[in-house]
Chains A and B, each alone.
Chain A
């Protein structure tokens, strides 16, 4: 018996035990973060922080087949003085694992290539690297032989030492003797010690060094439960069922020992192999990789006549300059020179040309395309057709877009007709090559509802119960998330807060251990990445192949590849991207223009509009804004009576005002009061007048912060931009602190007194939060005007365009339908022989398309219309025979009333069985015998309306409220016209259909808002917090009766609710 081998164990796992002399001689070389996606708990930054706490001098991040977490890990580790080592745990084609670390920049590039190669041609989220591919990219890489699933260890575990030896020799051949280390792991798992001794013996035999690693999956033991939950979610098996017997293989780790250990704790685990710890430091010493920051090499734009990119850009701009600036040419020329110099200095000429090329493609194809965001500050962007906004006329500053100081990358966002976006993306892929063009990724992270769903699943809760809670949370969160403009803000509220709100009267259930465990687990899951998604439209183009710069992988969508870094981290790396964003409103506008052309034979050039049409502003001032871009929400409507927009500048203000920045900074009311002459326009200091003159002394736009910093505190423009960015950052208060002293000192140097300087600083600090740049607001205001103009002049076509592209904006299609009806537009019923695939205009009325019918996709609708093109459908049998649609789809069409010309809905539904029989029966066989028919009760009008709504989401007839008219009358609801005659402050009772759900924006301090839609109009309802909490469940009803006080009649009716009840 070998007694010596068994005498030295301690309870090392707890850190207790003898501390050997080798303490602090270790760094962790195998650690997973939460970006191993459902196989790791800590965020990469936390790994670095914990490593620093434990006194590790270096730590490697080795996520599975990815570098998703690299950037935050690297930056945080460097910040803390811990050396970040870049590594990956690869999954090979035979499912072996191998840990590879980048020794130098070549190694980093090879890691990227290997990750990309492993993921190509595999299903999304899966990677299997071919051994043969591995052999081609080994330079600059250090190979650790891997965990238990490593090619060597897994054979050694089975005591097949011959096979283990063969694999080791193979690795030595491929990587070279100096770059291979035998990886040992001891996590108090059965056979760990036996295995590590076998491996150490094998290493000794081949004169190789060993390294000890922890295979870290969480920071401390306390997080082991979360790791189990993640694995359960990954495996799609609830924890109670995932448990395997003692000898069976379970995907769960057998104990809670896979945490990040201190050198002392590691030393206690390897008393017999101290050199395995020391070797980790040697490896860390060898690894010298710097994160590849800086601008990527952009593709060289093939300019004509061999012109350099800068020269070609200049030529393009100079050609356009006289056309746009015939009057103020000189001023424009100066600005252009300044911008071109800046672009040349930043080396961005190719970038502008690449974007210009995309714009040119859209123009050639007639695709509606519109630049948004800070690019509108640029004259070059205007001249290239990227933006429709005139930066000179709007007084925009280019530093908001480009500056040497902030060194960041410019971000050009293009809004593209959503229906055509894919063709633009594919153009970019084809134009620059698939090796040089890629989409940015986004990490789909857990939010409250999804966290509850997955945690509930993992913990074995009843799926129905969990779904119910998750749905309730989603509803609650949605109410929280919408800002005053009705735009979804990606805020998320902790699960426990949401559940406390959901269940107003805490039950013992909520206090039960199981429930508490679920809530805690869901809360811990929140914000962790679940899987990789595709960024809305961020496209990167590079000069050299992307796979050697950043790892890429295929996206779920065909013909798309995605880089493993998201928008934020690409920016950190200095990678410029172009956002090709799909905007459904542009699709709606595009469709409306097409319909006008088809039905009225008129071609409209929106770019030729002069933004001065009085009817457009009249319409907006009368709060008829449902269906308009950006100004349709209840919050926007509430501002209209006070703002009364009468020109384009007013629209720019209108879209900017209802944003968290101006709201939190208490800028909205002062602005409106000053505008209406209710308070004088004042400035805290005369030097602010130039910056704030246009907005009556209050801050509304981001650019104004830059101007204030420049004029008041003497900031150079780039520094002002940094201040502006700090205002919009997630941790605004912390970020701003860095500027406070500088700002005050700057102001004092300009001769401003300390109190005034502090006052202005408070004004700026109050502006923290999401706000618009004037350039962005101007770009949006253009679309607001276009949409309003179309609604005024071609309402049927415009609403038809909206309905074709619904859902878009704030309201569901039935509310748009209702608004169109109030505008005198008729709706025609679904008809199998008249409806087209999408909504159409027929003699001034709108007929919905078959794509609205549930169960009929856009493709099936198109196919059906194509079949009908040969000959109209003569009967139900004829339809079934020719379309081959499945039974459910035909049933939906019947229920939607599309077969109205062939008979009563229920009767046709009854005949459907026979129709399918006959359609399948060979020709010539007898039809059904008479006694197989049955007479069905015809549907009432109300039933028809409801079933149409249930099947299509619209009624294509009366308003839904009409069906319940009697019930509303019985409930004592006032007719809409009576409300208009009632004195303000009177007690009233109103009823209707909840238009867009209940919103409870964070800036409203608990107050909730909803809009009640009825055939005659919309009523805005303000619900005080107390009532909201009391009536939480009732507010989920579709039809509501609200008793309250009339607050406003013109242009829209608004009441403050005192009592809310669901319609009985």
Chain B
């Protein structure tokens, strides 16, 4: 019995030690995409996908200048006032990322998405097929580049850390293979700062002890390191030696989830199609909810004709991303309404773009940035724990309901500038008097809000809150009160 356990443990260890991973990395994907689109710009900023108030990506030059992901956009502008700021093209980034992912599937199904444009691939046994790991790496690089039209880097090594570092150490469109047994030597010259999430205190003390490279760290004996820095140092010590036992976690969130229905008899009746679209959106919503994703966009595809089907497509982003059945359904039906259907429809397909891990990170970053700085590390730890324990699906984005949007109305004012007549739902209503007048002036430092509010009594005795926007003079209905 004891022997069996030992064998099992040995096998597990052996498997982990033998894992060969390729890291395929398209550096700074959004910037690459935007630079290709807008012509090369050394100073380029892409704001985040939600609200555009923080930096999502920045060109290398700006990163060196201190513009980092998550930095409030106005501060980034202070650092780089002449930077070109382009709106994020979520669909395109998805498409490139998806293309990379698709192209990798030809090599292996065991793919882990690390971040936008970064993947880890299990390549055990593939080296022999492709004439060695060097050639495999080159092939991977070429394939990904062709598929995504992006500069890519490939690193191969035993374990995630070595593979990722190999990809980072190499140049664009090249590959670097770290042979088995050479991990420690490869890492030895690299600075300790690359160790992921190393506590600041450990870094400070290592520096004082003149330990600046992974080679310096790995040269120490492990018990001594553990005694010096505690048990948590074990992970960093092993990484420095090139031992990374973290298993590959094949992609959990797919890039898209689709639900389709092929009709035995093509249908052109819009009401039936509405029902079908509604049904598909419900199924899609359930799937998303069950797997813990939010869709960022929805695409409706209709196939017309049987033998040479013609495809009609319409898509739209969902802001904020959601799995809500009602919202998906409304959007799907709205998309159907936008498509002109000349012939009967043979197949209906509804495709949602689920939340990606990189997208999670953007939200989390925004979340922690908004919080108290001291608690950021704590919050990040908690998020990491949740991710580790329950997977990415466990993290959801909360949203709050805002107040109703004021309704623009026409108001006639009297000689002293007070409202005397208001047009509501196309009907002019006389104002008998003003119950109260107050003024609100806020947010002069960002988007100044200046409003004069009037609680008016209409001739029928009912009350309304009106306000005039003092910036442009427009009038709005803010609130209706029951009859007095």
Is A509's CB under 8 angstroms from B439's CB? no
The distance in angstroms between the C-alpha atoms of A508 and B77, with both chains bound, is: 10
A461, B484: Cβ atoms closer than 8 Å: no
Contact of A459 among B79, B436, B445, B484 (CB under 8 A): B445
Kindly provide the distance from the CB of B253 to the nearest chain A CB, expressed in whole angstroms.
32
* Set A191, A240, A256: member contacting B441, Cβ < 8 A: A256
Contact partner of A934 among B208, B221, B438, B461, CB < 8 A? B221
- The proximity string for A residues 1-37 relative to B, scoring 1 for CB distances below 8 Å and 0 otherwise, is 1010111011101001100000000000000000000
A434 to B442 CA separation, bound complex (whole angstroms): 47
Q: How far is the CA of A11 from the CA of B438 in the complex (A)?
A: 10
Within the complex, which residue of A5, A225, A240 is in contact with B435, where a contact is CB–CB below 8 Å?
A5
Q: Are B403 and A246 in contact (CB-based, < 8 A)?
A: yes
* Closest 3 pairs (CB-CB, A-B): A6-B433, A188-B439, A508-B81
| B444 adjacent to chain A (CB < 8 Å) | yes
Chain A residue with the shortest CB-CB distance to B484: A1
Asked if A917 contacts B434 (CB within 8 A), the reply is: no
Extra A-B contacts (15), CB below 8 Å, given A11-B416, A224-B441: A7-B433, A9-B437, A10-B416, A243-B442, A254-B439, A255-B439, A459-B445, A460-B72, A465-B79, A508-B81, A515-B78, A517-B445, A913-B228, A932-B227, A934-B220
Q: Does A462 contact B (CB under 8 A)?
A: yes
Taken together as a complex, chains A and B put the C-alpha atoms of A658 and B114 apart, in Å, by 68
Residue B427 at the A interface, CB < 8 A? no
Can you list 10 A-B contacts (CB < 8 A)?
Answer: A1-B484, A7-B433, A11-B416, A461-B75, A508-B82, A514-B74, A515-B78, A891-B208, A906-B208, A934-B221
| Chain A interface size range | 35 or more
* Cβ-closest chain A residue relative to B74: A514
Q: List B residues 86-143 near A (Cβ within 8 Å).
A: none
Q: Bound state CA distance, A193 and B436, in angstroms? A: 7
Q: Separation in Å of the B373 CB from the closest CB of chain A? A: 8
Q: Which residues of B contact A917 (CB under 8 A)?
A: 227
**Choice from A193, A931, A937 contacting B221 with Cβ under 8 Å:** A931
Contact B418 A9 (CB under 8 A): yes
Task: Knowing A240-B445, A254-B442, A465-B78 are in contact, say whether A909-B209 is a contact too (CB < 8 A).
Answer: yes
Q: Is A194 an interface residue (CB 8 A)?
A: yes
Please tell me if A437 contacts chain B, counting CB pairs below 8 Å.
no
Within 8 A of A (CB), among B341-394: none
Q: Which B residues lie within 8 Å of A465 (CB)?
A: 75, 78-79
Chain B nearest CB, measured from A41 CB (Å) = 15
A913 touches B227 (CB 8 A): yes
> What 1/0 flags go to B217-228 for Cβ under 8 Å of A?
000110111011
Is A257 part of the binding interface, using a Cβ–Cβ cutoff of 8 Å?
A: yes
A188–B417 CB distance below 8 A = no
B223's nearest neighbour on chain A, judged by CB, is: A932
A537 to B213, CA, bound (A): 54
Q: Tell me the smallest distance from the CB of A353 to a CB of chain B, in Å.
A: 55
Contacts of A257 in B (CB 8 A): 439
Specify the chain A residue showing the minimal Cβ separation from B446: A240
> Which one of A243, A517, A909, A913 lies within 8 Å of B208 (CB-CB)?
A909
A910 to B439, CA, bound (A): 66
**B405 close to chain A: CB less than 8 A:** no
On whether the beta carbons of B224 and A931 are closer than 8 Å, the reply is yes
Distance in Å: Cβ of B42 to nearest Cβ of chain A: 16
| Closest A residue to B226 using CB positions | A932
B290 interface contact, C-beta 8 A: no
Q: Are B434 and A9 in contact (CB under 8 A)?
A: yes
Nearest CB on B from A840, distance (A):
28
Residues in B with CB closer than 8 Å to A931 are 221, 223-224
A9-B418, A465-B75, A509-B78 known; A225 and B444 CB under 8 Å? yes
Interface residues of B, count at CB 8 A: 44
B440 touches A243 (CB 8 A): no
With contacts A909-B208, A914-B227 known, is A11 near B417, CB below 8 A? yes
Interface residues of A (CB under 8 A from B): 1, 3, 5-7, 9-11, 13, 16-17, 188-194, 224-225, 228, 239-240, 243, 245-246, 252, 254-257, 459-462, 465, 507-509, 512, 514-515, 517, 891, 895, 906, 909-910, 913-914, 917, 928-929, 931-934, 936-937, 939
In the complex, what's the smallest C-beta–C-beta distance from B305 to chain A, in angstroms?
Answer: 54
One of A11, A254, A515, A909 near B440 (C-beta < 8 A) = A254
Determine the distance from Cα of A191 to Cα of B446 in the docked complex, in whole angstroms.
27
CA of A91 to CA of B477, assembled, Å = 39
Residues of A with C-beta under 8 A to B72: 460, 462
A255-B443 Cα distance, complex, nearest whole Å: 10
Chain B residue contacts of A194, Cβ below 8 A? 436
A190 touches B81 (CB 8 A): no
CB distance from B448 to the nearest CB of A (A): 10
Complex Cα spacing A383 to B465, Å: 81
Please name the residue on chain B nearest to A914 by beta carbon: B227
Residues A906 and B210 in contact in the complex (CB < 8 Å), given A509-B81, A514-B74, A931-B223: yes
B280 interface residue per 8 A CB criterion: no
User: In the complex, what distance in Å separates the CA atom of A415 from the CA atom of B22?
Assistant: 75
Could you say which residues of chain A place their CB within 8 Å of the CB of B223? 929, 931-932
Contact string against A for B residues 310-333, beta-carbon threshold 8 Å, 1 for contact and 0 otherwise? 000000000000000000000000
Q: In the bound complex, do residue B436 and residue A255 qualify as a contact, i.e. CB atoms below 8 Å apart?
A: no
Q: Is the CB of A228 within 8 A of B221?
A: no
How far, in Å, is B477 (CB) from chain A's closest CB? 15
B441 touches A936 (CB 8 A): no
Q: Complex formed: what's the CA distance from A252 to B434 in Å?
A: 26
Q: Does B453 contact A (CB under 8 A)?
A: yes
- Is B432 an interface position by the 8 A CB rule? yes
- Across-interface contacts of B225 in A (CB, < 8 A): 934
Q: Does any Cβ of A come within 8 Å of B45's Cβ?
A: no
- Asked if B144 is at the interface of the complex by the 8 Å CB criterion, the answer is no
**Across-interface contacts of A460 in B (CB, < 8 A):** 72, 74, 445
Most chain-A Cβ atoms within 10 A of its Cβ — which of B225, B434, B438, B443? Answer: B438
Q: How far is the CA of A6 from the CA of B416 in the complex (A)?
A: 15
In the bound assembly, the distance between CA atoms of A928 and B432 in angstroms comes to: 91
Chain B residue at minimal CB-CB distance from A10: B416
Residues of A close to B210: CB separation below 8 A: 906, 936-937, 939
User: Chain A residue with minimal CB distance to B76?
Assistant: A462
* B77 CB contact (under 8 Å) in A224, A252, A512, A909: A512
Are B438 and A192 within 8 A (Cβ)? Answer: yes
Report the Cα distance A932→B223, complex, angstroms.
5
Contacts of A256 in B (CB 8 A): 439, 441
Q: Is B457 among interface residues, defined by CB-CB distance under 8 A?
A: yes
List of B residues within 8 angstroms of A461 by Cβ: 75, 78
Q: Are A462 and B78 in contact (CB under 8 A)?
A: yes
- For B461, list chain A residues within 8 Å (CB): 1
B227 shortest CB reach to chain A, Å? 5
Cα-based distance from A245 to B403 in the complex (angstroms): 10
Of A245, A462, A507, A936, most B-chain CB atoms within 10 Å: A462
Complex contact B435–A6 (CB within 8 A): yes
- What's the least CB distance linking B375 to chain A, in Å? 14
| Residues of the B chain whose Cβ atoms lie less than 8 Å from the Cβ of A936 | 209-210
Partner of B457, one of A6, A239, A507, A939: A6
Q: How far is the CB of B222 from chain A (nearest CB, A)?
A: 9
Q: Which residues of A contact B433 (CB under 8 A)?
A: 3, 5-7
Query: In whole angstroms, what is the CA distance A5 to B437 when docked?
Result: 12
* Least distance between B229 CB and chain A CB atoms (Å): 8
Contact of A932 among B82, B224, B457 (CB under 8 A): B224
Q: A13-B439, A465-B78 are in contact. Are A3 and B227 (CB under 8 A)?
A: no
B71 to chain A, nearest CB (A): 8
Interface residues of B in 33-77 (CB under 8 A from A): 71-72, 74-75, 77
A246 CB contacts on chain B under 8 angstroms: 403
Which of the residues B79, B221, B434 comes within 8 Å of A6, measured between beta carbons? B434
Q: Which residues of B contact A10 (CB under 8 A)?
A: 416, 418
Distance A188 CA – B221 CA, assembled complex (angstroms): 73
CA distance A895 to B210 in the complex (A): 13
Residues of the A chain whose Cβ atoms lie less than 8 Å from the Cβ of B457: 1, 3, 6
Q: List A contacts of B71 (CB < 8 A).
A: 462
The complex places the Cα of A909 from the Cα of B442 at a distance, in Å, of 56
